[in-house]
Structures are given as structure tokens and as C-alpha cells.
Amino acid sequence: MSASSAARVSCRPIAAADLPAVTDLLHAGFPKRPRSYWVEGLHRLTVRTQPDGYPKYGYLLQSGGDVVGVLLLIFSARDDGSGPTLRGNVSSWHVRPAFRAYAPLLVLRTIRHPAASYLNVSPAPETLPIIAAQGFRPFSRGVFAALPMLARTGAARLHAGAAQWQSAHIPQADLRLLADHAAFGCLGLWCESTQGGQPLIFRRRRIKPGGIPCAQLIHCRSLEDLEAVAGPVGRFLALRGMPLMLVACDRPLRGVPGRLFPAKLPMYFKGTQAPRQGDLSYTEAAVFGM
């Protein structure tokens, strides 16, 4: 790369007009993913509303009019009862080999918003020293593979789909959470039990070997709340072809048969408060699938 080419490298937010080039670059960087994976995921980011003043897609590196690097960033505003917070999911990124020296510029631009906390829920193993140097710390270190249909827990009434949600008197914030994730392609449930109502969100995926169908947990209010209704929820999922549930967490679910994989799919954050285990809402796990 010549000095004149290097001088033209700049970093800026991704615009809608950049999406074809961004898609091509991500597909080149992640060849095992079909191009449609990026097309569909970026479309979901296009139609959702991001917090005011924050990028819709993330940032790119540009040189001589060409997109040579990209980092997707998904911002969401939330209120967990202790006040509003802002969260940014540092998602998929790729830089052309000739421009790898400029990757730190892309990353530093991405995490410069001081009001936000940041998540990285799918770091590549080779990037762990890099994100540690950037101040990221683990908040979840493993995965629990559960068979919740075998759990002996209390009864629960489950409402699935917009028509049932409208008749269930769901609080507006929870209804918005369910509707947003249904638009991402997730399965949302409003679960009523003796402990009250709660939203539960899952994403269908397959895991190797054999492409075993499962439901990846995207959102619950707490692992304890999930444990209390695991049985009826597990049987609901099993009837829809998802007997296995994957939960990103550090411990087994109490009373739920399964196995903990303690070093599988570690997740990291940067900020003052660690995210709750069991909450991957508005992250790449929900928007793109993992």
C-alpha cells in the first residue's frame, strides 16, 4: 500500500448507500456465512429505530472511495428498572489485509461514546488479547445446554404471537421488546405464572455436529425467573422442534436437566455495570442469529 493510498484512509459511520459494499466485505471476511445472512441482518438494522445521535449500522474504513474495513455496532436504549441506560453491541468486523494497520482506528471510533456500555458476545479467539487491552471484561464464561421439557416446575400460561399478546394486557415496554424481536425473526413468549408475567425471547438455531435444532435464549428477566417456568416453556419449545435450549451463563439452571460447557462462547463487556446473564436482547444474537 502506497503512502498516498494510506493518506486517503478515513473512518466514518456506515450509510444506507454503503450497504452493498459493506455486505460484500463482510461476506469476504466470513465466507462460511451466505451473503443472504448479511443482507437480511442489515435490513433488520435498517428498519429498526436506533437511539438518537448514534449510528444505525456502525463504522467503516474508506480509501480512495472503496470500503476497506467495516465494524457493525448495534445500539439500544433500555431501562431495567434502575434507570435508562445505553448499550452498544460491538458485532462483526473485517478489514482488508492491506489495511489491517488501520483496524485500531476503526475500533477506537466505535467505542468512543462515553454514555454507553459495550458488549462483545462473539469474539474470535485470536481477538481476545486485543479486546482485553481495550478494557473488555468477561460477563459470561460458558453455555448451559438444557433439556427444559424434563424440568419439574410450576405451571405457566404462554402467549405467543402478536394476536395473543394484544389480549394479554402486557406492559407497553415488554410489548415493544417482544414486537421488536419478532421483527428480527425471534420467537417471543409472554409467560404468566404465580410469580407474575414476564417476556421470554428465543432464537431458533442449529448446532453442530448433526445440525441439532435448539432454542437460544435471547432474553429473560433473570435466570431465576426462567428456572421457575422452565418445564412448560421447554415443552412448548419441544413441540415446535426445539427440545434443546442454549443459555449463555456461568452455572447450570437449577432443577433443569442439562450440561454446562464452562469455556464455550465467552462474552465480554466494557463499562461500569456488567450485563445480566440471560439478556442478549438487541444484540447480534437477536438481529443476525449466531
Q: Is the pLDDT of residue 115 over 80?
A: no
- Mean pLDDT of the region 152-175: 90
Residue of 80 and 130 predicted with greater confidence: 130
Is residue 288 assigned to a domain? no
Q: Is the pLDDT of residue 271 over 90?
A: no
Structural domain includes residue 248:
yes
* pLDDT reading at 214 higher than 90: yes
Q: Are residues 105 and 184 in the same domain?
A: no
Are 8 and 86 within one domain? yes
Looking at residue 82, what is its pLDDT? 57
pLDDT at 193 over 60: yes
**pLDDT at 228 exceeding the cut of 80:** yes
Of the candidates 91, 162, 85, which has an alpha carbon nearest to the alpha carbon of residue 120? Answer: 91
Q: Residue 2 — very low, low, confident or very high, per pLDDT cuts 50/70/90?
A: very low
- Higher-pLDDT residue of 57 and 4 is 57
For the ranges 11-20, 75-84, 87-96, 97-106, the lowest mean pLDDT is seen at 75-84
In a domain, 275, yes or no: no
Question: What average pLDDT does the structure give for the chain?
Answer: 90
Residue 155 and residue 58 in one domain: no
Domain harbouring 20, CATH code? 3.40.630.30
Single-letter residue type at 114: P
Q: What is the pLDDT of residue 1?
A: 47
Query: Is 202 a residue whose pLDDT tops 80?
Result: yes
Q: Is residue 198 part of a domain?
A: yes
Q: What local confidence, expressed as pLDDT, does residue 105 receive?
A: 80
Instruction: Using pLDDT thresholds of 50, 70 and 90, give the confidence band for residue 80.
Output: low
Number of domains in the chain: 2
Range of the domain at 111: 3-136
Query: What is the DSSP secondary-structure string of the chain?
Result: --HHHHHT-EEEE--GGGHHHHHHHHHHH-TTS-HHHHHHHHHHHHHSPPPTTS-SSEEEEEETTEEEEEEEEEEEEEE-SS-EEEEEEEEEEEE-GGGGGGHHHHHHHHT--TTEEEEESS--GGGHHHHHHTT-EEEE--EEEE-GGG------EEEESHHHHHTTT--HHHHHHHHHHHHTT-EEEEEEETTEEEEEEEEEEEETTTTEEEEEEEE-S-HHHHHHTHHHHHHHHHHTT--EEEEESSSPPTT--EEEETTSS-EEEESSSPPPTTB-TTSHHHHT--
- Tell me what pLDDT residue 84 has: 65
Tell me what pLDDT residue 107 has.
Answer: 78
Q: Give the model's pLDDT for residue 4.
A: 44
Specify if 53 maps to a domain. yes
Average pLDDT over residues 275-286: 94
Same domain, yes or no, for 14 and 71?
yes
Pick 5 or 43 by higher pLDDT.
Answer: 43
